[in-house]
Structure 1
Amino acid sequence: MISYVTLGTRDLQQAADFYTSLLGDLGAKRLINMERIVFIGKNNKEPMLAVCVPFNKEDPHPGNGVMLALAPGSKELVDQLYHKAIALGATCDGAPGQRIPGVFYGAYIRDLDGNKVCFNHFG
């Protein structure tokens, strides 16, 4: 159902490098490179992440209550993505941990532009 999600950036190359590196171990790569937008994913038939310079050329604004959630497949991969994101320059917005016992495990970061991202595992 979801085709892609877009996150705004001030620096397209930096954001594309960040997410390509972060998600590369999950099989993601740059699929489409355009002047103001880059699509990252496994292929264009599965949901993708796009980073873009806003069309109106104004600064991007991370939304209050807006968050991208990525499910890598295990608690261990949640931890790995969180630590990799921090090493790539992201900031902590909630260290890895069990949020709802037996149901939800998550870790939260803010990317280089302040967008909120959750790495999570249900079950």
Structure 2
Amino acid sequence: MSIAVPNAAQPMEIQLHAVSRVLEIAFDDGARFELPCEYLRVHSPSAEVRGHGVGQETLQVGKRHVGITALEPIGHYALKITFDDGHDSGLYSWSYLYELGARRDQYWQQYLDKLAAAGASRE
């Protein structure tokens, strides 16, 4: 099943729920997503996580309890997220955040499958 991700969708509201460790984001097309901090951290768009090409990704482990310490808008196109484990590289474009929300179930299951295949843990 393919999900259309609008390139022009803009955030209308961004709210960090620190206790539940969830970033809630509402877009101008009516879409609203709740993105757990752990999910955002393991899907960071940084080169540290994604690598510099296909097959160079680094599996993120032990991120179950990660939180967000800072959010910084970058121009009119992205959000810089600082996590409490020190990770702060990689810019989350609005379109990437929308994609993460729209495909959350699929991407999360893929991550869990990779952890299981590697014998790794979220703890």
Scaled by the length of structure 1, the TM-score of the pair is 0.31
Q: TM-score, normalised by structure 2?
A: 0.31
Q: More helix per residue: 1 or 2?
A: 2
More strand as a share of residues: 1
